[in-house]
Chains A and B, each alone.
Chain A
């Protein structure tokens, strides 16, 4: 049912949940539990499967772990570990909330809402282009990977894997730069002069 909420309500709910998750002190166990329950409840309302959230979290946790692990290593004693747990819990809750938001809110609606909130145009343009071309770049990477494995006749050693991954990333960067050049040309060709203009889609534009 969250899907039908007005866009502002979705965005503010998400912001409120993230604020709550990051402001509640970790030592107040019950409070943290309540926040976690609210976020879990929001997911249930939106009918987002728990398995999906867990799968995404599995991708996120290693990064979070690497970010947080430096604290107990640099700070002796209990304080370091407390910080570690704090970052881990807050990161997990915030990430779950972000997952909830992108699931209940189509991307163009999110952009439109942010625009109404006067988020600077340049930032929105960056986010919008990134979202658009992340998928294109991903497809390109995928094709390059397939082409590479088509010519790989045995199981590569770890060193070879890393080396060819580095090559792929380098190639992808060059391709991305070329593409950026062509996109800029396409924008110029349709009269772009550096100013972002914007029109809201109305209900009648959404048959």
Chain B
């Protein structure tokens, strides 16, 4: 494949033969390859410790801690290795651009809300993008409205419910206007109403999404395709109903066929 043919095939996320291990530890990810089309919602499922979070952290260059230098990457497409966002390799030189394009929602909102007020927290990303004050204000207002929290600007980040904190986190991510959203266990410990609100917000997002979760009923509801990860390897990838409805496959990897697909 030549350079131009790579760019012509539209992919929001492309992972090519990605392997990773922490120094001195066993392999956490082994030879993982997949692509995500623009606008596609992907469910990333697998038992705990399968490497889901580690994989997500590769998508915006939080891992590996020592990023590759672009100049050392081989240019031949078929020998390429690594993570590409909108065909930009995740590398030391591109990291600012990658992080602008990939929004990351962490599992614990307390890790992500580090400013004293909601306004300051949502403004954190846009300010780092170097936007003007007026633009920052506009983005804060717009993204808080898009998660249904208009008027929350002066609130303290300490005095919010878990669902509200998750939504403020999401507003902070939206404020950077990413084209790809990576979500680590976004639905854990939410009550049903907060969960439904979050799902509705995610549906409205126009970019690609990759959602790591144990909540397989939501995956059936929300995701176009599923990647099944176990032991650091990509065991299956395909249409949501084909993967999650395959009892033998699910059983083999310590998962369950969701109720929605059982009662047929």
| Interface residues in chain A, defined as those with a beta carbon under 8 Å from any beta carbon in chain B | 106-108, 111, 128-129, 131-133, 135-136, 179, 182-183, 185-193, 197-199, 201-202, 205-207
Contacts and interface: CB of A to CB of B under 8 A. Distances in A.
Interface stretch (B113-121, B188-196, B234-242): B113-121
Contacts of A131: 116
A191 B116 contact: no
B70 to A, nearest CB: 18
A190 B119 contact: no
Nearest to A125: B114
Given A128-B115, A128-B116, A206-B154, A191 B125 contact: yes
Interface centre among A129, A190, A202 (most CB of B within 10 A): A190
14 contacts: A108-B116, A108-B156, A131-B116, A132-B158, A182-B111, A183-B112, A185-B57, A187-B124, A189-B62, A189-B106, A190-B124, A201-B117, A205-B137, A205-B141
B123 A187 contact: no
Contacts of A129: 114
B154 A186 contact: no
A193 B123 contact: no
B114 A132 contact: yes
- What secondary structure prevails in chain A residues at the interface with B? helix
B104 to A, nearest CB: 4
Contacts of B112: 183, 186
A192 to B, nearest CB: 6
Interface of B: 57, 60, 62, 96, 99-100, 102-104, 106, 108, 110-117, 119-120, 123-125, 127-129, 133, 136-137, 140-141, 151, 153-154, 156-158, 172-173, 176
Nearest 6 A-B pairs (CB), nearest first? A191-B128, A197-B127, A190-B125, A189-B104, A182-B111, A206-B154
Interface centre among A188, A193, A205 (most CB of B within 10 A): A205
Given A132-B116, A135-B158, A205-B154, A199 B127 contact: yes
B111 A179 contact: yes
B98 to A, nearest CB: 10
Contact of A188 (B62, B117, B120): B62
Contacts, number: 95
A111 B116 contact: yes
Contact of B128 (A106, A128, A197): A197
Interface centre among B123, B125, B128, B129 (most CB of A within 10 A): B128
Given A186-B112, A190-B125, A201 B62 contact: no
A85 to B, nearest CB: 38
Given A191-B99, A191-B176, A136 B117 contact: no
A190 B137 contact: no
A59 B94 CA distance: 52
Contact of A108 (B99, B114, B120, B140): B120
Contact of B100 (A111, A182, A191): A191
Interface centre among A187, A188, A191, A193 (most CB of B within 10 A): A191
Contacts of A205: 119, 137, 140-141, 153-154
A157 to B, nearest CB: 35
Nearest to B97: A191
Nearest to A195: B128
B99 A190 contact: yes
A202 B134 CA distance: 11
Given A185-B62, A191-B176, A201 B129 contact: no
Nearest to B107: A182
A201 to B, nearest CB: 5
A153 B124 CA distance: 48
Nearest to A140: B110
Contacts of B119: 201, 205
A129 B113 CA distance: 10
Nearest to A191: B128
A118 to B, nearest CB: 19
Contacts of B113: 132
B256 to A, nearest CB: 29
A71 to B, nearest CB: 38
